[in-house]
Structure 1
């Protein structure tokens, strides 16, 4: 491959994202002597950095906070020679000379034979300032991650689709009561999910309610939500210790510009492991997983993507390829 002027360097592997998927991919490619470049986006560490206590990641019997887990993973990958740089990837294109051209927001063009996309998926939130202020202090978007911490307490779930009812049903394992707050008087969820929710004695519904504020920022913890009836305009407060937003996730794939095949909601489609529809482009973690969305499953797919990329490079003869700059 010949490098044109303005191209910083040619990489064998570029990994996008520093959550569990990206860092695990970095660990495996680094230990395979591929010297991976890891590009860290605006949310370093992904969704784990907004998770307080992680008790379901193997190897930590006493639990560990999300930020601590990410910090340990970062230390491990850099020990083996992975390079982590901060930038926002604006575009990825197939390079005419082979491999990929990656354009970042700071004006760089990076060429790489392979790319592992581990940019994750972002939970959709209501956009309330109080919601943001209490994130990790009673506000969550992951019942599987944080439900355990609300044993015997009352919880509010925002949403009306399958995601909301799945979260609500899971939370009944811990909570004394789960109130589903929905803007309408009917649910969007599938009939079977509705039946399960209606039959569960721990689940209540607050119909035609719009959430105005999560209480109480001044106390630094969730004590309830202030809602408004969309039909009458009357406001009221629903007491709770936990507030779970369950209005869906959005995969972070916009920057790909349709380069690889996705499902209707934007999640990257993979086959034969972590291969996308574009040879040399691999996907790991939540960016290709609308079902499980767990740190451990993301890490596992990061390992798979690293091995897939290594095998692709071997089959392509990249180890023997020379590089010239024009």
Structure 2
């Protein structure tokens, strides 16, 4: 059984930044990389909104650079996924891939949130080539182009409305006759002249020219009739699922499963456990905000290990 002062579960901008800061604090963190080392940005082509890169940078390259920076300061990385933890004892116990056991004095949870996908033909293959799960990240690339947003909740309405800043037309495809979004979000979308709706239609296949998206095949649920909606991009907006199942309810979450942190800190409901990135952020879900929260988690973990955090935990709990 290997022991570490700090273990970071997950990578991406949050996990890598936490690794950089905790490594520079001489905490020699062990980072468990997860099923997709680098997180969702490894599925992104060009990132243009991360500060410091005037001409943009490819998502995988940005993640690789962050990892190398953390390694430079002494962080170590291990492929694998945390399958269970025991937060009832200290040091905390972490099981990786069901058979490797570790203990740690402090844990930083950076396991992210996975976008829910449609599970249709062409969807996975065309991610980064017209299929996206983030309008804020990729909307700029669809200036004066036609795009489709699949979904019927607040997220879909918000994504569609945002995309009208760039796209010439936005088509919202929803599998039911009625939207699930709040009335105010529905009205905002319906009143936008760039948005039109295809209701009671199930998405069947993302089509391409062999390189990039050219449209979406949908099936009318009432008649069974198929049609291809021509578009340059398909945005899947049916929600995200935070990757917290492995915690088995040992940390406080909201109704969806996102970890709850105390006030403006990274403190969770268990002293010595910190959270950062998309696993605790259902609102912004941006690389830069994730990186910032990773910095906070590492600094909070350092203070905790120095023994100067208990009173802050008590105060944060009282104000949460």
SS in 1 for 2:307: helix
Residue pair 2:121, 2:204 contacting (<8 A) in 1 also: no
SS in 2 for 1:244: strand
User: Which of 273, 280, 286 lines up with 1:288 in the alignment?
Assistant: 280
Question: How large is the RMSD of aligned CA atoms in angstroms?
Answer: 1.1
After TM superposition, list the pairs within 5 Å mapping 1:241-252 onto structure 2.
241-252=232-243
Residue pair 2:276, 2:294 contacting (<8 A) in 1 also: yes
CA distance in 2, matches of 1:94, 1:128: 38
CA distance in 1, matches of 2:254, 2:128: 31
Q: Please identify the structure whose Cα radius of gyration is greater.
A: 1
Q: Name the residue aligned to 1:3.
A: none
CA distance in 2, matches of 1:59, 1:74: 17
Moved more, 86-95 or 195-204: 86-95
CA distance in 2, matches of 1:184, 1:265: 22
Residue pair 2:85, 2:95 contacting (<8 A) in 1 also: yes
CA distance in 1, matches of 2:176, 2:10: 37
Residue pair 1:161, 1:187 contacting (<8 A) in 2 also: yes
**Pairwise CA distance, 1:18:** 1.2
**Pairwise CA distance, 1:220:** 1.8
User: Which of 57, 69, 72 lines up with 1:64 in the alignment?
Assistant: 57
**Pairwise CA distance, 1:291:** 0.2
Q: Name the residue aligned to 1:197.
A: 189
Matched, 1:255 2:246: yes
Q: Name the residue aligned to 1:224.
A: 215
Q: Name the residue aligned to 1:321.
A: none
**Pairwise CA distance, 1:271:** 0.4
Aligned length: 308
Deviation sequence 1:51-98 (CA, Å, 0-9, x none): 1111110010000011010011011000001000011111010254x2
Q: Name the residue aligned to 2:173.
A: 181
Q: Name the residue aligned to 1:320.
A: none
User: Which of 110, 127, 134 lines up with 2:102 in the alignment?
Assistant: 110
Deviation sequence 1:123-167 (CA, Å, 0-9, x none): 000011310111110000000000000000000000000000000
CA distance in 2, matches of 1:192, 1:225: 28
CA distance in 1, matches of 2:121, 2:94: 34
Deviation sequence 1:93-118 (CA, Å, 0-9, x none): 0254x220001115111000000000
Q: TM-score, normalised by structure 2?
A: 0.95
SS in 2 for 1:179: strand
Q: Name the residue aligned to 1:265.
A: 256
**Pairwise CA distance, 1:246:** 0.1
CA distance in 1, matches of 2:210, 2:99: 44
Residue pair 1:268, 1:283 contacting (<8 A) in 2 also: yes
Residue pair 1:87, 1:106 contacting (<8 A) in 2 also: no
Deviation sequence 1:293-317 (CA, Å, 0-9, x none): 0000000000000000000000179
SS in 2 for 1:168: helix
Deviation sequence 1:202-241 (CA, Å, 0-9, x none): 000001111110002x512100011110000011110000
Residue pair 1:211, 1:228 contacting (<8 A) in 2 also: yes
Moved >3 Å (runs of 4+): none
**Pairwise CA distance, 1:185:** 1.6
Q: Name the residue aligned to 2:41.
A: 48
SS in 2 for 1:214: strand
Residue pair 1:172, 1:178 contacting (<8 A) in 2 also: yes
SS in 1 for 2:216: strand
SS in 1 for 2:256: coil
User: Which of 157, 161, 168 lines up with 1:169 in the alignment?
Assistant: 161
Q: TM-score, normalised by structure 1?
A: 0.93
Q: Name the residue aligned to 1:134.
A: 126
CA distance in 2, matches of 1:42, 1:271: 28
